[in-house]
Amino acid sequence: MRNLVKQIHISKRTELPWYKAWAIRGVAILLALVACALVTMLLTGENPISIYITIFEGAFGTARRTWITAQDLAILLGISLAVTPAFKMRFWNIGAEGQVLIGGLATAACMICLADTLSNGMVILCMILASVLAGALWGFLPAFFKAKWNTNETLFTLMMNYIATQLAAYYIIVWEVPKGSGKIGIINQSTEVGWLPQIGNQYLLSIVVVVILTGFMYLYLSRSKHGYEIAVVGESQRTASYAGIKVDRVIIRTMVLSGAICGLMGLLLVGSINHTLTTTVVDNRGFTAVMVSWMAKFNPIVMVFTSLLLVVLSRGASEISSTFGLNHSFADILTGIIIFFIIGSEFFITYRINLRKSVEKEA
Amino acid sequence: MTALETVQNAIRMEHITKRFGNVVANHDITLELHKGEILSLLGENGSGKTTLMNMLSGIYYSDEGQIYVNDKPVTISSPKDAFDLGIGMIHQHFKLVDVFTATENIVLGLEEPGRLDLKKASQKITEICQRYGFEVDLNQKIYEMSVSQKQAVEIVKVLYRGADILILDEPTAVLTPQETDKLFTVMRNMKADGKSLIIITHKLHEVLEVSDRVAVLRKGEYIGDVATRDASQQSLTDMMVGHAVSLNINRPDPVNVHPRLEVKGLTVYDELGVKRLSDVTFTANSGEILGIAGIAGSGQRELLEAISGLYPISAGNILFHPESEDEKAPADQKVRELVGLDPMAIRKCGVSMAFVPEDRLGMGLVGSMGMTGNMMLRSWRKGKGAFLNRKEPETLANRIWKELDVVTPSVSFPVRRMSGGNVQKVLVGREIAQEPAVLMTAYAVRGLDINTSYTIYNLLTEEKMKGVAVVYVGEDLDVLLELCDRILVLCGGQVSGIVDARTADKRQLGTLMTRVGGGSVHA
């Protein structure tokens, strides 16, 4: 065993041309599909090709499905864009789930409590302000404690998720319709007060917002002074203070921005897409966003593709479970395999593996 | 040792090659260590000395080649393998547990059967100390020890594990001349006891003083070996750098000297409440290079960071005197107090201060960015609006690339991937480009080859002639004495003396470096 280990020699690559890196990623996705096919045949006896076709049809089979896929893509991408500046700063914010939910809660609160007293336009204005402020507060708290007392942001943001979930659960009971159902139902179904206006069709508003957000985030990170500060703080806080960057301020400012964008996504989820609030309205996308952001190496443009991949897989997965009568977990297995291969390919992009010439006369 | 006597090899490394990515750190090196000799492994920084030795101590594994210990082929794939073969390495950075005593550190990690018998162990350790002449208090905690005592503990640790072959990686880098003498005595005692030693160094006079034979590496290649009695400083320098270089540093007399930076009674504490600087008072003049000497960790870093506004100051004044033309202005506008200002505030009040910190990639530069991005560290705030101005920094990056011969494929190539010398050129180039009134450098030539070092010396001297107050924190006393105009010596966070570099000598500096309170400050 020891000799075998010695035959393999792992060294860091100095530089890999971009096309080779993408070739490696492409091969990884192909291998992932092959592995998925094998697993499918062995476990279910179904034809893997038809499963892939079903996945594709689940995501893009009809115009309506395509629109929903695009809308899901927009929300996931939006949350991913929100967490990215924090990650670039090496601030491990895993609290997007809570930040989106609290934004959604604030939206619902405005829709329910202000519908009778304010005009529709004012309600919507309040919703926008409230959701953005609520998300920003959820981002501010962990950042403030991190900047002042160096608390662990990962634990802090995770805990904030639970607080948001419990608050949402409490208010859902307070506002439940009808009493005893444990649900809010569609808010202002008859008056449609606080429903965000539709442009074109019911899906397009979120998509447009996120397209603008993508462009904004790309410019913000790569061209603005703030973006530069974030990059330097992420690399080394000592370098940042050396360059006269106020590290505490950058940490707090960036997390407030992160949280505010999450809050905005909460607004879209509740005010434009669902018109109701449940504790699971974010549907773990706050965590999936972490993966989207990392797989894209924090590049907002690449994130469009990584989030597309994950959205298509998850939309296709629900289709498989109904068409073939397979459990939804089976789709999760396939998603897991594909992500495993994609993340694994990064190892081969960073490192080179050589087989050592066998050394004679070894003891 | 006569020529006729058959020489037995303790170690023979044959055709050793080691690569890191595309960089060949060692190329086809064949090296012998004879039994009972002290071999100096000489080479500039980056010539592959430490890499080669790390393959003996099991930290790296060679890509090609074979190692023989006592004429038997061996495979060393872990530090434990090295210990089993009787090879022990004393690293530049000590690996000791601060809150343990010397004895506890020495027995740490040994897997001996049965209960741990500290008494018996300490007897054995005392025996070793007496035999070779180490001065170590076995019950003292590491954090109470001076650097040389810590080093002694490291050596005893290796001997206690039964090493016959000792490798010392730049052991004198952190020692005063007096402590170095003591170390050499111990080394000679070990040699007399039949141990074989390799000492890695780039200090020529030490090579000549302590070793029997010298092996020279240059850029990863083995240049040759020579018996020390046949070698001279000049011949070794020629082997090391490949061609004869003048060891003289050009030092013009200072012109138009007047006070630029006045530090009075500066006292700082670190976050643990330990006093790092105590009542430091001095003046840095324009048109002059002020050297700062001292054992590593005597307060050099704290001093420079305090002046740049990066270290909290608990008492004292730092006064900045602007250009002499302003002298007609009222006194309160003329002199500026810098205490209590952060780097941005210092900059805003018109004081142009350049700082080349010791930790180049961790403080002075952003490793993942290219030259342009790093130029922006000093100019990112310039210009109106929310967006960055990339043009100026890019022009500056291109200028430095050309003027200082920085080896890099482009100005966007991450500086982390450049070699140490080029990284330093980028950093020093950027700092000088600010046209500073005060230029502070910490260990500006550490890890650089001789040619780059001279480039840096010349740049600093040019700045001095332009009327900049240059502060040069250095470790090589020869360079300090040849480059600087005055030298301030720090010891334990206090100023133990300020001397004229043209008349002082190394002994004098060495004495000052250890004078206050025995000089034992733990880093």
Q: Where are the domains of chain B?
A: 9-241
Give the A window 197-226 contacts with B, CB below 8 Å.
Answer: 219, 223-226
pLDDT of residue A98: 96
CB atoms near residue A349 (< 10 Å):
16
B390 half-sphere exposure, CB direction, 13 A CA radius: 11
pLDDT (tens digit per residue) in A278-334: 999 998 999 999 999 988 889 999 999 999 988 988 888 778 778 877 777 777 788
pLDDT of residue A359: 47
With 50 as the cut, is the pLDDT of residue A362 above it? no
Whole-number Å distance between alpha carbons of B186 and B154: 13
- Length reported for chain B: 523
Q: How many Å lie between the alpha carbon of B388 and the closest alpha carbon of chain A?
A: 5
Helix (H, G, I), strand (E, B) or coil at B9: strand
Contact B66 A238 (CB under 8 A): no
Contact A238 B363 (CB under 8 A): yes
With 60 as the cut, is the pLDDT of residue A131 above it? yes
Q: How many Å lie between the alpha carbon of B208 and the closest alpha carbon of chain A?
A: 37
Q: Which amino acid is at B416?
A: R
Give the B-side interface with A, CB within 8 Å: 19-22, 61, 63-64, 66, 72-75, 77, 308, 310, 342-344, 347, 355, 357, 359, 361-369, 373, 376-378, 380-381, 386-388, 417
Token representation of residue B154: 């490291």
Contact A14 B364 (CB under 8 A): no
Token representation of residue A15: 């530089």
Give the A window 233-262 contacts with B, CB below 8 Å.
Answer: 235-236, 238-239, 241-244, 246
What distance, in Å, lies between the first and last C-alpha atoms of chain B?
A: 42
Whole-number Å distance between alpha carbons of B291 and B485: 7
pLDDT of residue B213: 94
Q: Report the C-alpha dihedral over residues B499, B504, B510, B514, rounded to 10 degrees.
A: -30
pLDDT of residue B409: 84
Q: Which residues of A touch B373 (CB under 8 A)?
A: 228, 231
Contact A6 B343 (CB under 8 A): no
With 50 as the cut, is the pLDDT of residue A230 above it? yes
Selecting from B61, B72, B362 the residue whose C-beta is nearest the C-beta of A238 gives B362
Selecting from B77, B344, B359 the residue whose C-beta is nearest the C-beta of A6 gives B77
Q: How many domains does chain A have?
A: 1
Selecting from A2, A223, A244 the residue whose C-beta is nearest the C-beta of B387 gives A223
Contact B153/B161 with Cβ under 8 angstroms?
no
Whole-number Å distance between alpha carbons of B437 and B433: 11
Contact B357 A232 (CB under 8 A): no
Q: Which amino acid is at A60?
A: F
- By DSSP bridging, strand B486-491 and strand B288-293 are parallel
Contact B380 A225 (CB under 8 A): yes
Whole-number Å distance between alpha carbons of B66 and A220: 55
Q: How many Å lie between the alpha carbon of A125 and the closest alpha carbon of chain B?
A: 27
Helix (H, G, I), strand (E, B) or coil at B235: helix
Contact B148/B184 with Cβ under 8 angstroms?
no
pLDDT of residue B243: 57
pLDDT of residue B2: 45
Q: What is the 8-class DSSP label of residue B86? A: T
Predicted ipTM of the assembly = 0.81
pLDDT of residue A108: 95
Alpha helices of B193-254 — where are they, by DSSP H? 204-210, 233-241
Listed in order, strand segments (DSSP E) in chain A are: 8-12, 351-355
Contact A225 B388 (CB under 8 A): yes
Helix (H, G, I), strand (E, B) or coil at B465: helix
Which pLDDT band holds residue A4 (cuts at 50, 70, 90)?
Answer: low
Which pLDDT band holds residue A357 (cuts at 50, 70, 90)?
Answer: low
Contact B377 A356 (CB under 8 A): no
Whole-number Å distance between alpha carbons of B130 and B159: 13
pLDDT (tens digit per residue) in A61-85: 899 999 999 999 999 999 999 999 9
Residue of chain A minimizing CA distance to B363: A239
Token representation of residue A257: 């921005």
Contact B257/B286 with Cβ under 8 angstroms?
yes
With 90 as the cut, is the pLDDT of residue A178 above it? no
Whole-number Å distance between alpha carbons of A293 and B368: 19
Token representation of residue B85: 């073969």
Contact B366 A231 (CB under 8 A): yes
Give the residues of chain B that fall short of pLDDT 70.
1-6, 21-22, 45-46, 241-247, 324-334, 514-523
**Cα B186 from chain centre:** 23
pLDDT of residue B326: 52
Model pTM score: 0.75
Instruction: At B257, give phi and psi (nearest 5°).
Output: -80, 125
Strand partners of residue B337? B319
Q: Which residues of B touch A2 (CB under 8 A)?
A: 77
Whole-number Å distance between alpha carbons of B132 and B190: 6
pLDDT of residue B5: 55
Whole-number Å distance between alpha carbons of B496 and B509: 10
Q: Which residues of B touch A363 (CB under 8 A)?
A: 72-75
Contact B194/B36 with Cβ under 8 angstroms?
yes
CATH, range B9-241:
3.40.50.300
Contact B363 A242 (CB under 8 A): yes
Cα–Cα distance list, B354 to A69, B259, B309, B374, B433 (Å):
54, 17, 12, 14, 9
Token representation of residue A112: 């329910």
Residue of chain B minimizing CA distance to A238: B363
Which of the pair, A164 or A360, is modelled with greater confidence? Answer: A164
Contact B173/B475 with Cβ under 8 angstroms?
yes
Q: How many Å lie between the alpha carbon of A229 and the closest alpha carbon of chain B?
A: 9
Percentage of the residues of chain B whose pLDDT score is greater than 90: 40
Q: Which amino acid is at B169?
A: D
Residue of chain B minimizing CA distance to A243: B377
With 90 as the cut, is the pLDDT of residue A9 above it? no
pLDDT of residue A243: 92
Token representation of residue B108: 């740490």
Residue of chain A minimizing CA distance to B379: A243
Selecting from B63, B75, B364 the residue whose C-beta is nearest the C-beta of A363 gives B75
A297 and B CB contact within 8 Å? no
Residue with tokens 């914010």: A93
Residue of chain B minimizing CA distance to A229: B380
The dihedral sign for the CA sequence B175, B178, B183, B187: positive
CB atoms near residue A253 (< 10 Å):
18
Query: In sequence order, what are the residues at sequence separation of 6 or more whose Cβ sits closer than 8 angstroms to the Cβ of residue B486?
Result: B288, B290, B291, B498, B499, B500, B501
Q: How many Å lie between the alpha carbon of A90 and the closest alpha carbon of chain B?
A: 14
Domain extent, residue A273, equals 71-285
Domain assignment of residue A14, yes or no: no
Short-list B276, B358, B310, CA closest to B522: B276
Which of the pair, A356 or A57, is modelled with greater confidence? Answer: A57
Instruction: Select the highest-mean-pLDDT range: A25-34, A159-168, A340-349.
Output: A159-168
A90 and B CB contact within 8 Å? no
Residue of chain A minimizing CA distance to B18: A11
Q: How many Å lie between the alpha carbon of A132 and the closest alpha carbon of chain B?
A: 22
